[in-house]
Structure 1
Amino acid sequence: MQQTENSHIIYKAVLVASVGGLLFGYDTAVISGSIGFMRTYYHLSDGMTGWAASCALLGCLVGAMYSGMLSDRIGRKKVLMISALLFTISSVGTALAPSLWIFVVFRIVGGMGIGIASILSPMYISEMAPAAIRGRLVSIFQLGIVTGILVIYFVNAYIAGIYDESWNVSFGWRWMFGSGVIPSLIFILLLFTVPESPRWLAEKKKYTEALSVLNLIHGEKKATEELDSIKTSLKDTLPFSWSHLKDSKLKKALVIGIVLAIFSQITGINAIMYYAPEIFKSTGVGSGSALLQTIVVGVINVIFTFVAIKYADQWGRKTLLMYGIAGMIICLGIVGVAFYMQQQGYIILIAILGYIASFAMSMGPLTFVIISEIFPNRARGTAMSIATFFLWLAVFAVSQTFPVLMGSLGPAYTFWLYMAAAVMALIFVWKKVPETKGKTLEEIEEGWTQK
């Protein structure tokens, strides 16, 4: 009976936090189905179209930079609620915006929600999860993201099909953005049903509350041992400040977290996810077929995220990362060769789907798993903010440079450039990233002092 209760509270907390991932994916990808109608409605130039599509990333940077520090002060759960509130405000504001600039302001607000969710959801899951299944549970956050992306693909398609083109230009795109109110409100309500992170409670010396949560997760005997371990890890650790980067265990962890976050993006995933229809159109298929193939990309993304969920705690983070990155290298090479040889048709589609599958089982979920695990307890919020800030900076850089690279280098050399980045990522993971499978967060922290 005790085991059932443990499983219930753990998985409930994970699923609720993963709704933050779903909102992350939903709000990020909603622009893909609406930007064409917005372009017509507002008579946007190429530059303004790019700005309308990417302005949310500025909010992501702000949300990522400050949410960790805020969560260290007021708690993981409260900041997740702020994220849900920002999603709600953004959905209403973008749907009702009377001008483009007001739309942009509310998109940036939504971006702040995305930035917060990208840190706080995996952090909360990591701090709630037992060591033996932590990789699997944090990977469920990535499943939330890719599910959100897939859901909004279908929502956008449904709304676009309700009436004709002129209705979509005038009103349809507003309904696409407004639809985000529903999952945002659900997220807020669900957050009231889960406890605060026991590690944050212990950091704030709320030991009775921390023990109560740990009892729910582990049972009474193991909970006491876990709390003692958390107390020990916090005993000699000062709150994070920039001057404490001289602390070798934090410095090593932070460098690995930042570099891994950057590699997760500069290997090209968002170029493919944001511009998939254009890539497929460049192979000679029509726009309708390109949109259908984009949905196939979303489905593959969801399916192969389950591989990470199943094997992250069996094979280990490092092994799964290396397999996945190797697959990405091969597939990016094939895409480059196919474009170079001017081969059109299904070879590019198959190679891109192979790349998506490889990313979805490795870099996609495991980047969030690792950066939620490797930082010392007291510095985790701020350190994750810094690593995730660089992740969003890399997203912004890739989304802005991909069209330029395609135009100047051509598709073949663009994909070979991403392949070269993936080769460097493979070497980095092999040489620098520690294996964290099966270790408690406190054991991982202790491990840095022994290196």
Structure 2
Amino acid sequence: MAHDQGSADQSSSSSSGSPDEERYNTSRAVLLAAVAALGGFLFGFDTAVINGAVTAIREEFGMGSGLTGFAVASALLGCALGAWLAGRLADRQGRVRVMMLASALFTISAIGSGLAQGPWDLILWRVIGGLGVGAASVIAPAYIAEISPASIRGRLGSLQQLAIVIGIFVALLSNYFIATSAGGAGQPSLFGLEAWRVMFMTELIPAVAYGLLALTIPESPRYLVSQGEDRTARKVLGSVLRSGIDERLREIKRTVSRETRSSVRDLKGPALGLLPIVWVGILLSLFQQFVGINVIFYYSSALWQQVGFSEEDSMAVTVITSVTNIVVTLIAIAFIDKVGRRRLLLTGSAGMFVSLGALAWIFATAPLEDGEPALTGTAGTVALIAANLFVVFFGMSWGPTVWVLLGEMFTNRIRASALGVAAGAQWLGNFAISTTFPILADAGLGIAYGLYTTFALLSFFFVWLFVPETKGRQLEDMVDTGGRVRRDRPAPATPG
């Protein structure tokens, strides 16, 4: 334990030589954040597992493009509703209980999806899983922000995105092995079930593990204080912080004592009915989805088959892409508290614009065979490189950074409700992109990727004009009484 404390002491000063140097127990902070972020793993697994099953489900249930798109994206409707409800439920029942509820929803969805008898009951089970995903997407960043020391809050908050991309990777990797061992996603696999059904049911393992591990972590200090359990809250803070415990507890008590229970009404403001900071959160969430990242993770296997790759090669390419996503997310975690949120977002937007533009050009100019673009020769190689560069620029910027900002940019008073609204908007944006992709792809892949290129360009100017830097600030220092992010003082330096 002494080693953890010492390493933390050297890396957590809020300003060089400051008398208010923040000291903390690194291993304890990482452990709590990692368990909370397991919801992100299931978030990634649940939303990506359908990737390898799309073609088989479409053939088995005889679905057209519109119904296929809706079946793939149906979980996202549950995600939006789950995110909307989770914030208020977490304020009433606690963060940990919502994690356990999410675990139960994931479990039910895994079993139901694997045993689905038609498109409509598959959609029902996917929506139930989406409720769990939406709840996890709100609870993890909120809990992590509330237990984290300020100077490493960005890195700990990034664990949510790391867990998401690892969940995506595990889902795609298991899809690959299940499909290849069975000879195809539509072929019999374990217990005589088609391989695509087994893909869904593998989620049972992490779903149950999430619920059991949630029982091992303490409730958020913020929630405990709101329930009058100050002594327990101090104990939880003391397990993470080695200095400033009483000051942090007083600050939490001060904010809790002057507020009513968080609700959507608290988000009302002068900017089209909402506080400006809430709009920043909503638009960050929408731009994260409108660049089309989840087209890669939901449809890439079907997409690469569509342009001439075999099923096995398409799944292998998808797994490689998910590994790339993990690597760049680790890079983002290493640099987010040094480089800052704003600079990462701007760099990511510029890179996504170029790589998506290349994909749009390749698909738009490729020769057609049976009505589909044929990527022959160097065109296929360039498309693969451009697609993976897109994932690189997204993974090192908009992937983790948006979740970090959503966890830290709202005050204690509105955090749970504002996170719910922003995350709900994110899932609705995801639903819109995922549902429309098969239809846009039928019209032309160049059109689809041209649209995503445009949103990447717009995201750059949005960040440039409206998103300030927040690294290193305490949660209550970021927003003024008008709901605007404060720009009156720079974020303090965080020595590495």
TM-score by length of 1: 0.93
Match of 2:450 among 404, 416, 424: 416
Aligned position for 2:275? 251
Letter in 2 for 1:195: P
The answer to whether 1:214 aligns with 2:237 is yes
Q: 2:360·2:450 contact (CA, 8 Å) conserved in 1?
A: yes
Distance 2:357 2:182 in 1: 42
Aligned position for 2:401? 366
Aligned position for 2:12? none
1:302-346 Cα offsets, whole Å, 9 max, x none, are 110012100110011111111111111111122223334437221
- Which range moves more in the overlay, 418-427 or 397-406? 397-406
Give the drift of 1:3.
6.3
Distance 1:42 1:364 in 2: 33
Cα gap change, 1:407 to 1:52, in 2 (>3 Å)? closer
Cα gap change, 1:218 to 1:367, in 2 (>3 Å)? same
1:157-203 Cα offsets, whole Å, 9 max, x none, are 22223345541594322222111111111111111111111122223
The answer to whether 1:106 aligns with 2:125 is yes
1:222-243 Cα offsets, whole Å, 9 max, x none, are 1111111222333433434444
Aligned position for 2:52? 33
Letter in 2 for 1:179: T
Q: 1:136·1:309 contact (CA, 8 Å) conserved in 2?
A: yes
Aligned position for 2:385? 350
Match of 1:407 among 424, 442, 448: 442
Aligned position for 1:233? 255
Distance 2:113 2:425 in 1: 27
The answer to whether 1:336 aligns with 2:356 is no
Is the partner of 2:339 in helix, strand or coil? coil
Aligned position for 1:260? 284
The answer to whether 1:302 aligns with 2:349 is no
Give the drift of 1:284.
4.2
Distance 2:306 2:179 in 1: 24
Distance 1:237 1:292 in 2: 52
1:106-158 Cα offsets, whole Å, 9 max, x none, are 22111111111111111111111111111111111111111111111121222
Q: 2:145·2:153 contact (CA, 8 Å) conserved in 1?
A: yes
Match of 2:109 among 80, 90, 96: 90
Runs of 5+ consecutive residues of structure 2 not aligned to the other structure: 6-24, 367-377, 488-496
Distance 2:457 2:183 in 1: 47
Q: Which structure carries more helix by proportion?
A: 1
Q: 1:239·1:379 contact (CA, 8 Å) conserved in 2?
A: no
Is the partner of 2:275 in helix, strand or coil? helix
- Which range moves more in the overlay, 101-110 or 86-95? 101-110
TM-score by length of 2: 0.85
Cα gap change, 1:287 to 1:89, in 2 (>3 Å)? closer
- Which range moves more in the overlay, 146-155 or 328-337? 328-337
Distance 1:372 1:15 in 2: 15
Is the partner of 1:344 in helix, strand or coil? helix
Task: Extract structure 1 runs of 4+ deviating beyond 6 A.
Answer: none
- Compute the RMSD of aligned alpha carbons: 2.3
Distance 1:94 1:289 in 2: 26
Distance 1:46 1:335 in 2: 22
Aligned position for 2:155? 136
